Every structure is written in structure tokens, then in C-alpha cells.
Amino acid sequence: MKHLLYLRSLVTCSFLLFLAGCASQLQSNDGSSPTRYAGNRFDVDYSSRLPKFLDTGGKKTVLVDPNAHAWGAYGADGELIRAGIATAGGAKCPPDADKETCYTGMGTFHITGLGDETCISRKYQNGLMPYCMYFNNGEALHGSPDNIVIEDNVSHGCVRMRIPDAEWMRYHFAQVGTKVIVLPYQ
């Protein structure tokens, strides 16, 4: 059993490294410019969909706008540091959910737990949730493969991000206590 877990961990890490390396990212690792990717469908300036300044009350804040399908990381000074695509929860749940509506909780929350590249869903078939950042009763910001990070609200309630964006946020921005604001759906 121990060998199977080790093998699964190696396969998972290799797969995530492959996915993270597939996109040609133009973003610097320090977060000093908006997220942009070259040569694929993510070559969009997601920062243009969000306010450049947000009253953060002097605390680092993540803003999720399910209408713009975007997330933004704001410094304690309220300036937008980095932004990217976000797939939030949907009005209709995927078939394996035990509820009808899967909207991501709306309001102001705080990150309560942080995971690494091996983070998985305990509720939905051990689905991969690399670099998870829990903020609302099991809902999390987390990385997902590019094919399911789309401009639509179709998740079980979590906020899907591109894996390189989730890794950046997890290790260079978020910490337990970081504020998360999810705007209302329209």
C-alpha cells in the first residue's frame, strides 16, 4: 500500500509539472504584472476585467468575480497585483453533486487552510485540487487542468484557476487569514 501511495504521488507530481509547463507564461514570478499567456486561449488580460484598486482595509485580498470569470490578487495597499481566469460554481451542479445549485459562496471570507500540489477533493472522487486554499466550508481556490478552467461557472463550488496561477498564489501571496471576496452572481 505504501508503494502504491508513493507511486501515485510521483505520477501526480509528474502530471502537474507537465501541465504547468505546457503554457508559455509571460508573467514574472514576483507578480509585478498582470497574468498573460502567449499562444493559447488564455492570451487575455484578465486584469482589465477587474478594478485596478480595491479597498482592502489594509490586508492582502483575493477578489473573485464569477460574472467576469476572473480572480485578482490585491496588495494591502489595494493595488491589483495579478489576475487570471476563474471558473466558479454553477447554477446547476455537475451530475456527481448531491445538491441542485453549486454557486460558490458569496461574500467575504478568509483562507483557513493551505495545501500543496497533492491536494485532493475528499468529497468529489478524490479530484485533484493542486495548491488548494480553503476559504468557505470546503470551498477552495485551487489549480485545475487547462481543459476545465473555462469562462463559465460550472464547478462544484470551488474556484478553479490555472495551475501556475494557483501555485503562484499559494506560495507567493496567500496565507491563512488572507481575505477572499466572492462577488454576487448576476
**Adjacency order of strands within the sheet including 159-162:** 113-114, 133-136, 139-144, 159-162
pLDDT surpasses 90 at 5: no
Cα gap 148→39, rounded to integer Å: 18
pLDDT surpasses 50 at 162: yes
Q: How much of the chain, in percent, has pLDDT values that exceed 90?
A: 63
Q: How much of the chain, in percent, has pLDDT values that exceed 70?
A: 77
Nearest of 94, 85, 90 to residue 166 by alpha carbon: 85
Placement of cell 497533492 in the chain: 118
Beta-bridge partners for 181: 63, 108
Summarised one tens digit per residue, pLDDT across range 129-154 is 999 999 998 899 999 999 999 999 99
How high is the pLDDT of residue 52? 97
Summarised one tens digit per residue, pLDDT across range 31-87 is 444 454 445 667 789 999 999 999 999 999 999 999 999 999 999 999 999 999 999
pLDDT surpasses 60 at 27: no
Nearest of 68, 64, 62 to residue 48 by alpha carbon: 68
**CA distances for 165 relative to 2, 107, 143, 169, angstroms:** 31, 22, 7, 6
Greater pLDDT, 19 or 102 = 102
How high is the pLDDT of residue 71? 98
- pLDDT interval class at 104 (50, 70, 90): very high
**Top mean-pLDDT range of 14-23, 28-37, 107-116:** 107-116
For residue 3, give every residue at least 6 positions away whose Cβ sits within 8 Å of its Cβ, in sequence order, or none: none
Helix (H, G, I), strand (E, B) or coil at 25: strand
Average pLDDT, the chain: 82
Q: Residue ranges of the alpha helices (H) in the chain? A: 2-22, 163-172
How high is the pLDDT of residue 173? 98
Long-range contact pairs involving 68-77 (C-beta distance under 8 Å, separation at least 24): 69/150, 69/151, 69/152, 69/153, 70/46, 71/46, 71/141, 71/159, 71/161, 71/165, 72/46, 72/47, 73/31, 73/169, 73/173
Contact 114, 178 (CB under 8 A): no
pTM over 0.85: no
pLDDT surpasses 50 at 23: no
Cell readout for 182 is 466572492
Nearest of 156, 86, 153 to residue 121 by alpha carbon: 156
How high is the pLDDT of residue 124? 73
φ/ψ of residue 160, rounded to 5? -80, 140
